[in-house]
Homo-oligomer: A and B are copies of this chain.
């Protein structure tokens, strides 16, 4: 054995200290962003932008310093003999991947992207307001140009889209998505057709009455607590667009919004964000202040929100217990309705123009369309000028609806104005994975559906925590899905679930 000076931190400890610095700064930036969406006075947008940009740039420069690269190399030797599954071994693999990625993008390009985005965002707001794509077009052209150059800087094997996709779904390729989404499309289009043409119509007017906001808020909190959201280690607030963010294992923030004329908005929004929040609260605290304190990918994170929102909270079993609580809160509005009527109402399928308002069945078609358009743009089969027509044609083809204007079509989402090309697929992957995970959970613990129907959500949460949440970002999405389900990502379980559920609801 050789002599080690106990007072000198090892290379691994030095690296971890560096990563903790970066994590602290990123957490601070997340607090500023949360405040921006929840409390910030309107006039403060510019100063807050400067503060957040400063923190991002600091985190980036501390993480990509030469020293970190040297520590990664030195540490790789220290961890060489470790089990592949050890926290440290996973940490080093992940950090090396992130470091190589972040070092590949020149700072000038990062700054250019930030500037292009900032200008595009205001242009998009105005364009959407006036339903005038021409106003947004030059900005989107610059965005496609700058993200293409970022993609070139990052490097890829098959498609320039892959480099962008990796920012949200590590190691995923667009060729895999083409395959998975192909299956999805083949299954969804006939199901939507059948529902539309042959289904027994669903009446959901009971959801569109007047529901006072305080009772909605209280009910949402009650369900959040039943799900296991720990209010000592987190909180819920109101924001225009609901979101979840996390500053530490002990500080997870979720938001909701309440529409007094639509019961679904707060109810399913709260449960959706609650699914994200349980993930963040469930990551093992040993992984805090490191890059592993995160979801495995955007798609895996979304699987948790959709599992709770759709697979659980849009199930008949869930409402066989919770409808009584809902009736206590809203006796006049809901007193006369039984579980079956309510269950059908919350699962009404209707092809529509707006992604964020889409039901569980048609939702993924909105994503397919965006994925196809994004890859066409990145692989230069489509110009930005031709995008609105391409959008409308695909809407007609997949959903048989035609946008009356660009505000209800190509201009509806903020993502492209935010330079987030490659992000949309995660939403659809979340839907597929939610069912894959739930199927596995009920195989491992067959009591889960029965317990949900008794209002006991703890067994499902415990399974999710053990199998998914606790690991944080230790594994790549592919590794995690393989580990949990024993196979690769697949559209089949999701399609089976939809067919069983909706053929029943629509008497097909």
Contact of A247 among B28, B51, B233 (CB under 8 A): B51
Q: A43 at the A/B interface (Cβ < 8 Å)?
A: yes
Q: A410 at the A/B interface (Cβ < 8 Å)?
A: no
Measured between beta carbons, the chain B residues less than 8 angstroms from A152 are none
Q: A164 at the A/B interface (Cβ < 8 Å)?
A: no
Instruction: Check A248/B31 contact, CB under 8 A, given A54-B21, A232-B42, A233-B41.
Output: no
- Closest B-chain residue to A44, C-beta based? B251
User: When the two chains form their complex, are residues B288 and A47 in contact, meaning their CB atoms are under 8 A apart?
Assistant: yes
Instruction: Check A47/B232 contact, CB under 8 A, given A31-B32, A55-B25.
Output: no
User: When the two chains form their complex, are residues B41 and A32 in contact, meaning their CB atoms are under 8 A apart?
Assistant: no
- Closest B-chain residue to A231, C-beta based? B41
Q: A234 at the A/B interface (Cβ < 8 Å)?
A: yes
Is the interface on chain A under 10, 10 to 19, 20 to 34, or 35 or more residues?
A: 35 or more
Q: A289 at the A/B interface (Cβ < 8 Å)?
A: yes
Q: A369 at the A/B interface (Cβ < 8 Å)?
A: no
Proximity string of chain A (278-311) to chain B, C-beta cutoff 8 Å, 1 when within and 0 when not? 0000000000110000000000000000000000
Instruction: Check A251/B25 contact, CB under 8 A, given A35-B31, A232-B42, A233-B41.
Output: no
- Closest B-chain residue to A40, C-beta based? B251
A247 to B233, CA, bound (A): 26
What is the CB-to-nearest-CB distance from A243 to chain B, in angstroms, rounded to a whole number?
Answer: 16
User: When the two chains form their complex, are residues A250 and B27 in contact, meaning their CB atoms are under 8 A apart?
Assistant: no
Chain A residues 246-290 with CB under 8 Å of chain B are 247-251, 288-289
What is the CB-to-nearest-CB distance from A54 to chain B, in angstroms, rounded to a whole number?
Answer: 4
Question: Which of A25, A39, A233, A289 has the most chain B CB atoms closer than 10 A to its own CB?
Answer: A39
Q: A111 at the A/B interface (Cβ < 8 Å)?
A: no
User: When the two chains form their complex, are residues B251 and A43 in contact, meaning their CB atoms are under 8 A apart?
Assistant: yes
Q: A50 at the A/B interface (Cβ < 8 Å)?
A: yes
Proximity string of chain A (421-456) to chain B, C-beta cutoff 8 Å, 1 when within and 0 when not? 000000000000000000000000000000000000
Q: A97 at the A/B interface (Cβ < 8 Å)?
A: no
Q: A376 at the A/B interface (Cβ < 8 Å)?
A: no
Measured between beta carbons, the chain B residues less than 8 angstroms from A251 are 40-41, 43-44, 47-48
A54 to B24, CA, bound (A): 7
Proximity string of chain A (1-35) to chain B, C-beta cutoff 8 Å, 1 when within and 0 when not? 00000000000000000001100110111011001
What is the CB-to-nearest-CB distance from A250 to chain B, in angstroms, rounded to a whole number?
Answer: 4
Measured between beta carbons, the chain B residues less than 8 angstroms from A39 are 235, 237
A44 to B249, CA, bound (A): 8
User: When the two chains form their complex, are residues A44 and B289 in contact, meaning their CB atoms are under 8 A apart?
Assistant: no
Q: A82 at the A/B interface (Cβ < 8 Å)?
A: no
Measured between beta carbons, the chain B residues less than 8 angstroms from A288 are 47
User: When the two chains form their complex, are residues A232 and B41 in contact, meaning their CB atoms are under 8 A apart?
Assistant: yes
Instruction: Check A28/B41 contact, CB under 8 A, given A35-B35, A58-B58.
Output: no
- Closest B-chain residue to A27, C-beta based? B51
Proximity string of chain A (221-250) to chain B, C-beta cutoff 8 Å, 1 when within and 0 when not? 000000000111111010000000001111
- Closest B-chain residue to A36, C-beta based? B31
What is the CB-to-nearest-CB distance from A239 to chain B, in angstroms, rounded to a whole number?
Answer: 13
Measured between beta carbons, the chain B residues less than 8 angstroms from A233 are 41, 43-44
Chain A residues 113-171 with CB under 8 Å of chain B are none
A43 to B43, CA, bound (A): 32
Q: A46 at the A/B interface (Cβ < 8 Å)?
A: yes
Instruction: Check A51/B35 contact, CB under 8 A, given A41-B234, A46-B250, A248-B44.
Output: no
Q: Could you write out 12 A-B pairs with CB less than 8 Å apart? A: A21-B54, A28-B28, A28-B29, A28-B55, A35-B35, A39-B237, A41-B234, A41-B235, A41-B250, A43-B230, A44-B233, A44-B248
20 more contacts with CB within 8 A, not counting A28-B28, A41-B235, are A21-B54, A24-B51, A27-B51, A28-B31, A28-B51, A31-B31, A31-B32, A40-B251, A41-B231, A41-B233, A41-B250, A41-B251, A42-B232, A43-B251, A44-B248, A44-B250, A44-B251, A47-B248, A47-B250, A48-B247
Query: Which 10 residue pairs are nearest across A and B when measured between Cβ atoms?
Result: A47-B248, A44-B251, A24-B54, A43-B250, A43-B233, A44-B250, A24-B51, A43-B232, A28-B51, A27-B51
